[in-house]
């Protein structure tokens, strides 16, 4: 499978995304305290941590999608450019794409129509081959090909997650951000979803994965960050984090045996 997203050699050498000293406030309450992270081309980076740690808030700040009550400071650099002042639409146009926790599909539209909507920005920009990723998406998600004529509202939870990711890929992003893709899914479906996320490496797209399921996330990621109560508590190669005693005890459900 070949993914053509225009990432040149220079961009591969430098981070697609670099976040420095990110602070996010909701009114007088600061929810994220100086988070820094980076994502390189073709790599999967995960941010893990408990519910309420600030993971999704960090993702929304990167995407410029904070609610009216929220404000962010710090630097979000994408492809070497500061994203300050650039709205969500502008970030999408530059190749950033977020798959939100709630998936936000059009339930009364078919699977294929939802996918085509993912390529709408490219169509509006005048690209003649704006549907050129349809077969790529169907190869990644064969079940979507089987259900192309079904309404999205008739899909199972796992299939809806596949459709949400597939719709995002239709935009041919250079940075794909996934917010809790395993939320509410059965264990067997979670395993399938993470297998697909691992395969995204083949496309060359950079992936930032926000997850509470630390075990699954660290299995597919190249690098990981641990966020606790808005602070960056730990970072390192995913394999090292997965073998870290504190991560094992706190996030992988394997408490230390009493001495």
The answer to the question of residue 4 being in a domain is no
Helix (H, G, I), strand (E, B) or coil at 153: helix
The answer to the question of residue 258 being in a domain is no
Distance CA 154, CA 114 (A): 13
Asked if residue 175 lies in contact with residue 97, where contact means CB atoms within 8 angstroms, the answer is yes
The answer to the question of residue 256 being in a domain is no
| pLDDT attached to residue 212 | 86
The answer to the question of residue 2 being in a domain is no
Domain that includes residue 40, residue range? 9-251
Checking DSSP bridges between strand 29-39 and strand 44-48, what pairing results, if any?
Answer: unpaired
Distance CA 198, CA 222 (A): 10
The answer to the question of residue 257 being in a domain is no
Distance CA 209, CA 179 (A): 6
Distance CA 25, CA 12 (A): 33
**Cβ count near 146 (within 10 Å):** 12
Distance CA 106, CA 97 (A): 17
Distance CA 30, CA 54 (A): 10
* 95 phi/psi in degrees, rounded to 5: 110, 15
| pLDDT attached to residue 253 | 65
Distance CA 196, CA 165 (A): 10
Predicted confidence band at 5 (pLDDT cuts at 50, 70, 90)? very low
The answer to the question of residue 124 being in a domain is yes
pLDDT tens readout for residues 46-98: 999 988 899 999 999 999 999 888 899 999 999 999 999 999 999 999 999 99
CATH of the domain at 167: 3.40.50.300
Q: How many domains does the chain have?
A: 1
Helix (H, G, I), strand (E, B) or coil at 3: coil
The answer to the question of residue 33 being in a domain is yes
pLDDT tens readout for residues 158-181: 999 999 999 999 999 999 999 999
Q: Which of 85, 95, 75 is nearest to 16 (CA)?
A: 95
pTM above 0.85, yes or no: yes
The answer to the question of residue 194 being in a domain is yes
């Amino acid at each position: 499978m070949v993914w053509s997203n225009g990432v040149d050699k220079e961009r591969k050498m430098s981070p697609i995304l670099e976040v420095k000293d990110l602070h996010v406030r909701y009114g007088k309450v600061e929810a994220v305290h100086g988070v820094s992270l980076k994502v390189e081309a073709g790599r999967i980076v995960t941010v893990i941590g408990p519910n309420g740690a600030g993971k999704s808030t960090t993702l929304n700040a990167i995407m410029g999608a904070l609610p009216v009550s929220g404000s962010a400071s710090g630097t979000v650099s994408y492809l070497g450019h500061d994203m300050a002042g650039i709205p969500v639409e502008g970030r999408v146009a530059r190749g950033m794409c977020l798959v939100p926790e709630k998936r936000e599909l059009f339930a009364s539209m078919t699977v294929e129509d939802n996918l085509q909507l993912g390529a709408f920005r490219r169509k509006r920009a005048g690209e003649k081959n704006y549907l050129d990723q349809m077969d790529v998406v169907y190869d990644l998600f064969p079940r979507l090909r089987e259900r192309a004529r079904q309404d999205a509202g008739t899909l199972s939870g796992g299939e809806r997650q596949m459709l949400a990711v597939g719709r995002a890929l239709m935009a041919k992003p250079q940075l794909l951000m996934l917010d809790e893709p395993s939320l509410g899914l059965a264990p067997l479906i979670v395993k399938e979803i993470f297998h697909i996320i691992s395969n995204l490496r083949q496309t060359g797209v950079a992936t930032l994965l926000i997850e509470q399921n630390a075990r699954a996330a660290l299995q597919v990621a190249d690098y990981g960050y641990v966020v606790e109560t808005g602070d960056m508590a730990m970072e390192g190669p995913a394999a090292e984090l997965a073998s870290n005693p504190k991560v094992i005890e706190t996030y992988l459900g394997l408490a230390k045996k009493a001495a």
